[in-house]
Structure 1
Amino acid sequence: MSPAAGRNDPAPADPAAARGASRRAQSDIYRAGISGTRTRVPVDPTTLEDAARRALSAEAFAYIAGGAGAEATMASNRAAFDEWQVWPRPLRDVSQRDLSIELLGRRRPTPLLLAPLGVMEMAHPDADLAVARAAAAAGVPYTLSNQASFAMERIADAAPDGARLFQLYWSASDELNASLLRRAEASGCEAIVVTLDTHLLGWRTRDLDLAYLPFTRGMGIAQYTSDPVFQQLVRERVRTPAASGDASTTVRITPKAIAAGVTIARKGGALTGAGLRESLRSPLPRAAVETFLDVFSTPAVTWDDLARAREWTSLPIILKGIVHPDDAARAMDAGADGVWVSNHGGRQIDRSVPTLAVLPEIADRVAGRIPVIFDSGVRGGADVFVALALGASAVAIGRPYAYGLGVAGEDGVREVLRNIVAELDITLGLAGHTRVDDLGRDALRAARR
């Protein structure tokens, strides 16, 4: 799975500019404070989460913040960072520091990526458009979610100079998978991130207690409703409803049911081009939701199926959801261009292995042959430092940027990224290091209990 020649390649971001911005961040915050101006979003990660809880609806916060089961995996992801301590080395010249890394054939100004987060319209109406603009301004590649609130083409138009990847949830329809990857390539994405750990939807207790799944309201399916293959699947479903296996479930008419119906109808405009009144009368919007629920994923996908992805795209392919060294080795054998160590932020399996605990083993097995991207449990720049020292090539941020989006829109995402980069830069210097590329396990000490 070799990288393809880029199309509509974004201009490389300036690492020096990123370094300067991170070093100004702390000073700018304190200087603004003289006139009584504070940051748009809290800097402390816990306070940021609390601010998002207040800003978002109960359903939105539960969907973004929640995890599987009793959320033991989420807790373990964070606790795994407590097993490591930064080991400072003073009296070294750290006046010049370099946060840049090489990833997918390009020099990036920081080691950060934005992980794919779906249904960001739950956090802010501008959703993925705001995130894309903020990521582009920071020089951080943005992984577009397969469950985005806007079509990938619109996201690309919102931030044409931004670096982006596309996440694929392996659909039950190969024709749809192929169509999505063709569109991603045409939209200037640099790589495809195949998510492996969502072939079944996790047992997400917060969402279940609220009986709320945004997709059933027509949210987070813009990549699908904008796709010609999916549109054809919907039209076929409307023509032959009996064959589709639709259940004739009676929905009790309540204000919430009416509001959900209006939301679904609005989303149906992407299929019909009609206004709200016409969409309310049309069977297409509801059929789109049912079609999505049918084709979203397949539990039958195996390693052998992955070879088909190379037939659908010439872009590099990264496999996301790797948590076992043997699977990292198998990914390399299969020709993957990168592995993404992730347990979906603890959203899929309760009591799963924390990703940081297995990162060193996976990094050792990969041995630098392909990039190792890491996520799950990352909340600040010191966390990024630890992950890089344990072998990550790049580190992906998830919930923190969603919280920033919910609190202050695009500006909130910008500030979250600024804060993480600034803390990483300061941690790097205070620990006695000048290049994130040079970080190794000697920069850390195992915590002794």
Structure 2
Amino acid sequence: MLASNSTSHDEPHQKQAKIDNLLLRIQSYSSNTTAMPEACKALVVQCESACATARQVPPSDADQSLFTVLERILVFVTKMSTSFYTKCRTADYLERKMKTLRSDLSKAVDTQKPLVPHVLQQPEPQGDAVDVHSMYSIEVDKMKEELMDRQNELKKAQKPEGKAQLIFNTGVTCIGKAALDEWETLQTVEVDEASMKPVRFGHLGMATVGGAVVLIKRIGEIQGTTKTDTVKRCKALAHWLRRCKGMMKIDYIQRPDLVIYGPIRAETLDVYLAQQPGLSLEAKWMLAFKVASTTSYIHECKIIHRNIRAESVFMVMEASGKIEPKLAGFEACRKEDLGFRSVGQTDEFDLWDAPEKPTHGSSFATDVYAFGVLMYEIAMRQPPVWINHPNVSHEMKYKQNASHWVGEAYSFSPTPKYITLMQQCLSATHTDRPAMSTIFDTLAEGYE
């Protein structure tokens, strides 16, 4: 690392040596990065321009600021060259980090002074006089314009097509009726109160916004700062998870305390399963696999869902006509590091709750337990009836036998591999449960 003393007394060649050394190391490590290669390349180009500018000015106290930023960039690109670091960080985090470094580098370059005295000592050119200050300013302005163009190109490349997207079950997410009343002063929202039906975490109904029919969801009556925290969590989740294809994503219009969605024509997985008595083993295995894929991605983003169950999975028809499961129900989720806390303990059912949840709260392991219950729901097309720790094999066998005299046939006999994985997820000891990434890998191997 650099010494803390000022560089104002350094000789020009010493300053240039430091700049060249830092730039060379930045270039070397950045060439090994696999994540965000174009963004890293743009960052290196900006470093090269900054160093070129710094070489043109004499040593000064301002150099320390530039050296400090270059060292931070060196540390960043060094970490970016390791796959472990990039896997442990979300793309959003890396983008914010890079944006901060580029901004700080621009500020450090602005503090550099033009080499006016040295240039003026040169023999005066014949003919028209040369305005050294103007020449330097034009060059710097040109460089800044080029950097700005590169930044704009980078932003365009990273910006998703279409409107911004937010993830939730359906309709308009309204944080309390008071918030809805406040927003009505900004834009007309006609709510069909007769259509409001109680659903998990609130009420769902129809509304008309700007002449368009939408669904509206109210999440309780939340007062004080809690409402603000909830809105922040909604926006943050949209930002963190916007790249996952397995999420419910709908274009939205953002207003204070409200998020507007278009209407969704989709039924939840529990309803879908009840209507599909002849669903094949392969189809059920694929349902579990796709939900596991999405949940595994959520955990990679350091987010605990806290509401994994068939009711939180929507069966959405794609443009191709194929029905795909989309995980929703994010009202209760929070960041794993508690950066965004949930609004109270909102779980209403015990079947999906891990044994340790009442005393130790939510974790990735409690999500895994809930996924085990979801595997049961997919296998048997209905929730379990067990109390306390489940006996999966016994209950499945009981329901299979009971189906003969209740007149319902179970077409799905879970494979030993499926049952084993389910029982591992439903382990009473949280340390014995597999990680979602392991579950995903196991299901990816196929049911045979």
**TM over 0.5, shorter chain:** no
TM bucket (normalised to shorter chain) is: under 0.3
After TM superposition, the score normalised by the length of structure 1 is: 0.20
After TM superposition, the score normalised by the length of structure 2 is: 0.20
Larger Rg: 2
